[in-house]
Structure 1
Amino acid sequence: MSLSRLLRRFSEKNSTINGKAIHAQIILSGRRADVQTDNHLLAMYSKIGCIDYARKVFDQMPERNVVSWTSLISSYSQIGISEEALNCFRSMVLESRIDPNDYTYVAAISACAQMEALACGKEIHGRIYRTGEAVNNFVKNCLVNFYGKCGLLRSARVVFDTIHDPGTVSWVSLMSSYVRCGENEEGLRIFLRSLRMGVGVNEFSYGTVLGTCAALEFLDFGMQVQCLAVKLGVEMDQFVVTNLVHFYGRCGDLELAKRALREANRINVTAWTALIGGCVHLGENAEAISLFRELHCFGLKPNEQTFVSALGALGKEKDVEGGMQLHCSIVKAGFDSFTFVSNSVLDFYAKVDRLDDSFEVFRSMDAREIVSWNALIAGCVNLSRYEAAIMVIRSMFSDGFEPNVYTFSSLLNVCGELPAAAWGKQTHCRVVKPGLDSNIVVGSALVDMYAKCGRLKDARTVFDILPNKNIVSWNTMITAYAQYGSGKEALEIYGAMVTNGVRPNDVTFVGVLSALGHTGDLEGALAHFGSMAKDFGVKPRADHVACIVTLLSRKGRTREAYEFMTNSPVGMNNVVWRSLLSGCVANNDLELGLYAAQKILTIDPNDASARVMLSKVYADSNMWNEASQVRESILGKEAACSWT
């Protein structure tokens, strides 16, 4: 057997000892290895995961060719050491003056995609274009994936359109790019187009479509895709099973998610983690925590993603002690070295109002990425610590990190909450330069920022030029018009949304009902309230009931408002009772007003606004002693403050 075949055989069997023995034999023989033998040694060490040995072989090679460089660059890229992969690519091109081949380009572009190194990736693409080299579909697929990961969907689409006879990989790359940027509806349209073009379905396209249906909560469509995959005999590997569990969990059917897990050929920790994540998404946090504990009974060890999902459940439960214990387990297991796990720990502490601990975790991280900065910024914003958020953003820029779409989204959120229209416009300019204004996440954030700053015309302009809109974009525009009393315009947007085939959700109907409240259209509001569950499968929430109660009360029909509340299956909260109380104050309904105030104070005895309105009810009824007693009870309340 030749030396080359022997080295290939040992690399395929992942036999480190035998591979090293052959290498030792070559050294002891005193025979000078040729470039082909060195390349086989380099490839063997790369395949068995000994990247340090591979680098030593490379550094000692008296002669190197394009295969040598490509093997090393590919090895670094595949194990995630992307920066070193790009350093090798530069050395190959600039110092050794060796022209890359298609495999070299694939490895280098993949490294750029991992790092989201937009400038470097564009340089490589520019080199391909300038040299006029005819590259194969593998390189073009990598370029589609690269531009998708960097959020430049137009560029991804342009590259895709140059692919002659795109196959499954090409279509999946394009679909994944749109899904990754939040353009899930367009992702599904691309999938349907690929089916019409006769492209086959494999486990990757199947899993990606299931993930898209999960994000959109399209249960029926996802089940149709599942039937198609079963009919075509798509392999139910670990990737598919995990996505199937995730899909049913996100769509609110935990029983089917559990069934998918049970019927898998082999229960794996990733699918189990997906089930925990589904519980967290549906607010079943106690069950998620229980599943995390139960995992050990099946002989499974939690991985880094399992810990992240469990932390999410504990964060929503505000279980500080449990989260701190889990943090200790993460450190003990060594998972704190994973940057995205530390990001989740950071996020957990922010959610339980321990921002100082979030900063401590951030400072202790060995390596930070843009997601780490984004998590800290988002934590500051969610806790209304806007000055801290701005400080973090400045530190991020000074450390040389380039903002991505989620950084800009958080920054625009700060500008909207303050409000700071001038900063918002500057951020908008910064977004336009790299072409991120067409991204659906940034576009929605821009609409929201301009709306909160009272610039509805600017908000509408941004909304109208968005190339693709999702449910968040439509809801943001509807809510903005509703909040500023432009009920007619809000309803026009809602009509256009339905016409475009976008399915409204619970947030949509809060905006619609608020808009109808401003127009005083009671019949229209009741009709839309009824159509929520009937036509769109949206369960009414207390916020929806509050909108109807407010509208009835404005028309002086407080008794009907109360009857509507009592007949509703929705549990009433302070918001609904406060809407009724406000109506009773306006209509001098003492009896019902007292009852509503009593309900509010039963839920929250420290609710000062309820006491203020109760005092007004007494005063309007000439019950001055009672009004005085209520006013005295709120003298100790804290003074409010404003950012504006």
Structure 2
Amino acid sequence: MVAFGAKASHFAGLLQACINKRARLPGKIVHAQIVTTGLSPDTFLLNRIVELYATCGSLDDASRVFDTMPSRNVYSWNAIISASCKSGDIVSAYNLLGEMPERNVVSWNTVISALVKDGAEAKALDLYYVMLREGFMPTHFTFASVLSACGVLGNLEHGRRCHGLVVKVGLDGNAFVENALVGMYNKCGDILDATVIFNGMSQPNEVSFTAMMGGLLQDGYIDDALWLFAKMRKKGIQIDAVVVSSALGASARGAEDGEVGRYCKSLKCDGYIFGQQVHVLVIKYGFESDIHVGNSLIDMYAKSGDMCKAQTAFMTLPEVNVVSWNILISGYGQQGDSKKVRDVLQQMQKSGIEPDDVTYVNQLSAYIKSGDIEAAQQMFNNIVNPNLTSWNTIISGYCQKEMYEKAMELFRKMQFLNVHADRTTLAVVLSACSGMGFLQFGKQIHAAATRVMLHSDMFVASGLVDMYSKCGQIEAARWVFDRMPERDVVCWNSMMSGFSLHSWNKEAFHLFQQMRSMGMYPTEYSYASVISSCARLSSLSEGRQIHAQTAKDGSINNIFVGSALIDMYAKCGNVGEAQLFFNFMPRKNIVSWNEIIHGFAQNGCGDMAVELFEDMLRREEKPDSVTFIAILTACSHSGMVDKGLQFFKSMEKDHGIVPLADHYTCIIDALGRAGRFNEIKALIENMPCKDDPIIWEVLLSACRVHANVELGKLAAEHLFQLDKLNPAPYVLLSNIYADLGRWDGVSAVRRLMIDRGIVKDRGYSWIDNKESVNAFMVADDVRTVDNLSEQSNHWVCQL
């Protein structure tokens, strides 16, 4: 009996050695010897033989041994289940688990883990709950698999339940489980809870850092990812190719977005420079031959705009794949270099690597970026079966070129071919509806989004808010916004922009405050919108509050925020502060110059506006159409008629800018204020924009001031043709006749108003007493007016 046991022990040792070395042939020899010596009924040895064949990937041999076993225990079943899982036969493993007369936690863990690895996360989660119902206590292996499944499914609710059980069974300090929790929360988009878990880890390892960096990158926290990488190095934690690739990815995103956060600021560098430092580490640790690291290097340099170094990184890779070529093509595409893209594509095909869908999309993007939409369309037409990304790219290209009708035509064709739209498609088409003011089609897109359950998607909902706002349906935009389950800063910006567009300025300011109170960080676009609202409200105190906030978070140096602040101070009558801010702007563009010139024009400081305009020309800043509206307005309001005429004539002659209706309005206003009607008459005879009502309204107002019946009647007649129900021209013409004592003319105009059913609009005034806005109209209740009068007297006394 002792000899028998010694033999069994001897064979068990031999089998273990074969298992360790995955030595199938020597293992078969040992198996034959076991049979020869009469030990084949031994369950322990047979279990080891099954394990041997499973390790060597021979499921058939393992199954034959299992099927002929005279006696099986739980380890026998676990061995054959493991063999099925390792060979990829998950269905058999799942069925074997159900057939087991007795299971242990290893049985459950093996199948749950295999299901997760096989992409059947939902089934793994179901099996986990069956395991719990049958009274089995999960281990750290169970939790790692289940948390991974929750992460892939994006199922935060089940992930949190699993986390609760982890804490209950005391495994929340297990490194294996902690890493799985960090990964799950990151994949579910809950970066805050992922950070809490990570910060609470006693000894985070390279897996922890890699998972956390991936989550930060996914959520756009580029600088935090770079800081984490630096912390990892400082702690002496081993750096592998995956971590280096993540760091390069963060550097690429930082360089592409122009982001410089606290860590990069402390090093006085940006994403590009940090990426170069990581490149040094790549060389130091010998990762330059790793294809994933090499591709990350190419991507980092490409997104930084340094295509020379991207090309060098590409050339130094010992072996490239289709991803490498695609990144290089994308880099040249982002620069709009369609010729280089074609050259690289030819080199790729010569190398024997076939382009894939991504290659064609990158080439398509390159044509669009370079402005060659015709070449993009031709290339798109040559794609045999364009995928959804290709459709989205070409439709987006037409939207970028403001060719909205063509974009919609392509979208209809896409629907006809039964290509199903995704969130990107819907958002792009909504932008086309916004650009055209095509409300009816926008509503159809809203209905389509609802049918496929994408109406609540942030990307789509933000497009809906923008579409309804630009189509004049601000209430509908607010309705969509209020029902969004979650919002990012883009959604808030869309709603604020909508309020600002429709002069719902108080609402825009309150929305900005609400956004801040919810912990959302405003972007430069947020600030520009709310500052514009403050400008329209002439709310200097609120405007200064926003100004202080922009200074605090660094947005003050943004050129568009700065331009909005200039406009706000000017519209609040504080032109001196507007000029002071303008003078200290580190960078100025045409928008900044236009705002300051227009600010002086609005405040009657024509001389200063002219001085600034001439200074702008001396600095070789190229004026645009808006610049001339501002300077002509300044000349008009300050009585500098000849100067205004000089600038007007120089538009086309010196700057190649064809005067538009707004420019004619300004110069006619200037001439009208000066009573120079002969020059106006000559001007309007030759102007191309005779159907613009504002021009005739300005002329009619000037005729009223100077009692010019001849031109006043001409202007009124044009206005009657353009909008016969507008009461303003009738009233102005009637007043001209009245001022001259021509009562027959007054009677004729009034009869015309009665015949056409036109009623003069009631005038109204409003007073902002800081706590509320009080408005009253002509013929309002006397008590209301008396009350406002008492308040006004009280304020005057206080002054």
Q: Equivalents in 1 of 2:56, 2:517: separation in Å?
A: 52
Query: What one-letter code is carried by the residue in structure 2 that aligns with 1:357?
Result: A
Q: Kindly tell me: are residues 50 and 373 of structure 1, through their superposed partners in 2, closer, same or farther at Cα, counting changes over 3 Å? A: farther
Residue in structure 2 matched with residue 523 of structure 1 by the alignment: 646
1:148·1:174 contact (CA, 8 Å) conserved in 2?
A: no
Query: Secondary structure of 1:413's partner?
Result: helix
Q: Equivalents in 2 of 1:210, 1:475: separation in Å?
A: 33
Task: Select the residue among 345, 359, 362 that pairs with 1:237.
Answer: 359
Residue in structure 1 matched with residue 481 of structure 2 by the alignment: 362
Q: Are 2:534 and 1:415 equivalent residues in the alignment?
A: yes
Query: Secondary structure of 1:605's partner?
Result: coil
Q: Are 2:200 and 1:94 equivalent residues in the alignment?
A: yes
Task: Select the residue among 56, 59, 64 that pairs with 2:146.
Answer: 56
1:409·1:442 contact (CA, 8 Å) conserved in 2?
A: yes
Query: What one-letter code is carried by the residue in structure 2 that aligns with 1:593?
Result: G
Compare 354-363 and 44-53 and name the one that shifted more. Answer: 44-53
Q: Kindly tell me: are residues 258 and 88 of structure 1, through their superposed partners in 2, closer, same or farther at Cα, counting changes over 3 Å? A: same
Q: Equivalents in 2 of 1:246, 1:55: separation in Å?
A: 44
Distance apart, 1:420 and its partner CA:
0.8
Which of these two proteins has the greater Rg computed from alpha carbons?
2
Task: Select the residue among 226, 246, 270 that pairs with 1:159.
Answer: 270
Map of 1:512-591 to 2, 5 A cutoff? 512-517=631-636, 518=638, 519-520=640-641, 521=643, 522-532=645-655, 534=656, 540-554=659-673, 556-570=675-689, 572-586=691-705, 588-591=707-710
Q: Equivalents in 2 of 1:4, 1:451: separation in Å?
A: 79
Query: Secondary structure of 2:200's partner?
Result: helix
Distance apart, 1:435 and its partner CA:
1.9
Distance apart, 1:103 and its partner CA:
3.3
Q: Equivalents in 1 of 2:520, 2:339: separation in Å?
A: 45
Distance apart, 1:472 and its partner CA:
3.5
Residue in structure 2 matched with residue 636 of structure 1 by the alignment: 760
Compare 591-600 and 467-476 and name the one that shifted more. Answer: 467-476
Alpha-carbon displacement from aligned partner over 1:10-57 (angstroms, at most 9, x marks no partner): xxxxx9994856986998998969x9x999979946899999696516
Residue in structure 1 matched with residue 576 of structure 2 by the alignment: 457
Task: Select the residue among 243, 247, 255 that pairs with 1:139.
Answer: 247
Query: Secondary structure of 1:335's partner?
Result: coil
Q: Are 2:458 and 1:347 equivalent residues in the alignment?
A: no
Query: What one-letter code is carried by the residue in structure 2 that aligns with 1:243?
Result: S
Q: Equivalents in 2 of 1:205, 1:616: separation in Å?
A: 71
Q: Which runs of 5+ in 2 are unaligned?
A: 1-20, 23-53, 58-84, 129-143, 149-161, 280-294, 315-324, 347-354, 769-799
Q: Equivalents in 1 of 2:401, 2:727: separation in Å?
A: 32
Q: Equivalents in 2 of 1:279, 1:420: separation in Å?
A: 40
Query: Secondary structure of 1:336's partner?
Result: coil
Distance apart, 1:542 and its partner CA:
1.9
Distance apart, 1:432 and its partner CA:
2.0
Residue in structure 2 matched with residue 227 of structure 1 by the alignment: 339
Distance apart, 1:559 and its partner CA:
4.2
2:310·2:328 contact (CA, 8 Å) conserved in 1?
A: no
Alpha-carbon displacement from aligned partner over 1:302-355 (angstroms, at most 9, x marks no partner): 222322233344445555444333322211122114122122223333334433
Query: What one-letter code is carried by the residue in structure 1 that aligns with 2:722?
Result: I
Residue in structure 2 matched with residue 217 of structure 1 by the alignment: none
1:93·1:100 contact (CA, 8 Å) conserved in 2?
A: no
Q: How many residues align?
A: 596
Q: Equivalents in 1 of 2:602, 2:332: separation in Å?
A: 36
Q: What's the C-alpha RMSD, in Å, of the aligned pairs?
A: 5.0
Q: TM-score, normalised by structure 2?
A: 0.61
Q: Equivalents in 2 of 1:373, 1:112: separation in Å?
A: 18
Q: Equivalents in 2 of 1:256, 1:491: separation in Å?
A: 45
Alpha-carbon displacement from aligned partner over 1:262-300 (angstroms, at most 9, x marks no partner): 355653444544554555566655554443323223442
Q: TM-score, normalised by structure 1?
A: 0.74
Q: Equivalents in 2 of 1:264, 1:483: separation in Å?
A: 55
Map of 1:224-373 to 2, 5 A cutoff? 225-233=337-345, 237-244=359-366, 246-247=368-369, 255=374, 258-259=377-378, 261-263=380-382, 267-277=386-396, 285-315=404-434, 317-373=436-492
Distance apart, 1:387 and its partner CA:
3.4
Query: Secondary structure of 1:636's partner?
Result: coil
Query: Secondary structure of 2:269's partner?
Result: helix
Q: Equivalents in 2 of 1:268, 1:508: separation in Å?
A: 45
Q: Equivalents in 2 of 1:358, 1:70: separation in Å?
A: 42
Q: Kindly tell me: are residues 360 and 587 of structure 1, through their superposed partners in 2, closer, same or farther at Cα, counting changes over 3 Å? A: closer
Compare 546-555 and 443-452 and name the one that shifted more. Answer: 546-555
Query: What one-letter code is carried by the residue in structure 1 that aligns with 2:476?
Result: D
Distance apart, 1:598 and its partner CA:
1.3
By relative contact order (CA 8 Å, sep 6+), the higher-ranking structure is 1
Distance apart, 1:421 and its partner CA:
0.8
Distance apart, 1:419 and its partner CA:
1.3
2:255·2:270 contact (CA, 8 Å) conserved in 1?
A: no
Alpha-carbon displacement from aligned partner over 1:150-201 (angstroms, at most 9, x marks no partner): 965795772333443688968976997xxxxxxxxxxxxx74x765998789
Distance apart, 1:566 and its partner CA:
4.5
Distance apart, 1:450 and its partner CA:
1.9
Query: Secondary structure of 2:455's partner?
Result: helix
Distance apart, 1:575 and its partner CA:
1.9
Distance apart, 1:110 and its partner CA:
0.4
2:404·2:432 contact (CA, 8 Å) conserved in 1?
A: yes
Residue in structure 2 matched with residue 106 of structure 1 by the alignment: 213
